[in-house]
Structure 1
Amino acid sequence: MIEPSPYLRTTADAYDAVAVRYAEFVRGSLDALPLDRAVLAAFAELVRTSAAGPVAELGCGPGHMTAHLRDLGLDAFGIDLSPVMIDLAREAHPDLRFEVGSMDALDLADGELNGVVSWYSVIHTPPQAIPSYFAEFRRVLAPGGHLLLAFFESEGEPVTAFDHKVTTAYRWPIDELAGLAGEAGFVEVGRMLREPREDERFRRGHLLMRMSE
């Protein structure tokens, strides 16, 4: 059995430790974020009008976003590195499927998915490892499938580590992250940059990508 990378163990342990508080923090958070909801709705419409197939939220946390994707008409399920988060997700949403797993080594068949959502879930990944994540997203997506990324944008700076409240995270220039996805075989459909609200520190980036056929 291959041992997970140290940063994966660190991330899982950190989210296990704050899982209950985190679930409380994110509950209802989309209600005050109309632009975020619009990006999610656009992703859902594109997925629904393409080939049939499930959508995986990778790094699903306590399951609130997976449930939102389901409410948008998608056959959605969630995967997260933190066992405690998965327990909370299953308790809160017993009608949905949740599994413990890592985004860099998914227990999914090639081309099994019609969509992937990574909502602030690659933010803890060291920059040098990001290409391997995009390669795994491409492996599990069917041709023409869609990928939605949400992340902290670096606002003109290079990739920058910062003191995320859970564990070290990274802010990315949107063009650089889009370029890495393009190298992995994704075509950009659209992007959205949102300025931080009063209770937020950083600009938010969103990339909507389609896998080349």
Structure 2
Amino acid sequence: MGADHGRVRGSYDTVAEEYLGRIGGELAHKPVDRALLRVVVEEAAGGPVADLGCGPGHVAGWLAEQGARVVGIDLSPRMVELARRERPGAVFRAGDLLALPAADGEFAAAVALYSVIHLEPAELTPAFAEMRRVLRPGGVLLVSFHLGSEVRRMEEWWGHPVDVDFHFLEADTVAAHLTGAGFTVEARLERESLPEEAATRRGYLLARRPR
């Protein structure tokens, strides 16, 4: 694991409690995200779903409320600790997107919401290949990200000292990396930010591991 992943881990450990307080209820005002997540639940058809970059477990919890069997995975041990505290009936694991703590074909579907934005460009295809590995043939993956081409370095976040980069990504670039990792991209969607969100345009891709 590279040094940059250590920076990301430490930064999210630092803001974990505040992140939970500020972001933990975000799906309540995100109808598009909820609709896409329902697609994932339907596609999983009762099989296990991975929440990759699960943070404090709020998306995993919402998926579980829809009847999904969810496993949340996050780089930050503190985030995993909070997720286990908030969702004691769910399963959470600490792990890196480049080396997921999961068996081959363990999941029927997966979501990676704003987690690949912390990867370096050269890490995208290997990360997606790892996601493909843990998906069953025919399994779907929902990826979301901030649209653009800039890299924002944050050294302060909600008053806490951090050291983390946010990579904005073009939809075509993410689609190309998914294809390069063996996925078939089936749907894409873009939307403007909501009043409750940071002012960035958002992108979503739904991809499938071929059977």
TM-score w.r.t. structure 1 length? 0.91
What is the letter of the counterpart of residue 185 of structure 1? G
1:22 and 2:13 are equivalent in the alignment: no
Of 150, 161, 171, the residue aligned with 2:151 is 161
2:41 pairs with 39, 44, 56, which one? 44
Aligned equivalent of 1:200: 198
Structure 2: gaps (5+ residues): none
Instruction: Report what 2:105 is aligned to.
Output: 111
Q: What is the rounded CA distance, in whole Å, between the counterparts of 2:63 and 2:180 in structure 1? A: 27
Partners of 1:36 and 1:106 in 2: CA distance: 24
SS, match of residue 172 in structure 2 = helix
Amino acid at match of 1:109: A
Counterpart position of 1:93: 87
- Give, in whole Å, the separation in 1 of the partners of 2:33 and 2:104: 29
Distance 1:85 1:107 in 2: 16
Query: How far off is 1:140 after superposition?
Result: 0.9
Q: Which residue of 2 aligns with 1:212?
A: 210
Amino acid corresponding to residue 133 of structure 2 in structure 1? R
Q: Is contact 2:50-2:72 (8 Å) kept?
A: yes
- Could you tell me how far apart the structure 2 residues matched to 1:180 and 1:27 are? 29
The CA distance in 2 between the partners of 1:94 and 1:47, in whole Å, is 22
C-alpha separation in 2, matches of 1:41 and 1:12: 29
Deviation per residue, 1:171-213 (Å, 9 max, x gap) = 1111111111012111122111111223422101111111111
Aligned to 1:175: 172
DSSP 3-state at the match of 1:185: coil
Please report how far the alpha carbon of residue 53 of structure 1 lies from its aligned counterpart in structure 2 after TM superposition. Answer: 2.9
SS in 1 for 2:118: coil
Indicate the SS of the match to 2:200: coil
2:75 is the alignment partner of 1:81: yes
Corresponding residue of 2:185: 188
Percent same amino acid at aligned positions? 39
Mapped partners of 1:10, 1:55: distance in 2: 27
Measured against aligned partners, the alpha-carbon deviations of 1:66-102 in whole angstroms (never above 9, x if no partner) come to 0111112211110111111111111111000111111
Matched to 2:107, the amino acid is L
SS at match of 1:55: strand
Confirm whether residue 31 of structure 1 aligns to residue 47 of structure 2: no
Q: Whose strand proportion is higher, 1 or 2?
A: 2
Q: Distance in 2 between matches of 1:170 and 1:107?
A: 24
Q: Which 5+ residue runs of structure 1 have no aligned equivalent? A: none
Structure 1 counterpart of 2:123, which letter? Answer: A
AA at the equivalent of 2:151: A
- Contact preservation (8 Å) 1:57, 1:76: yes
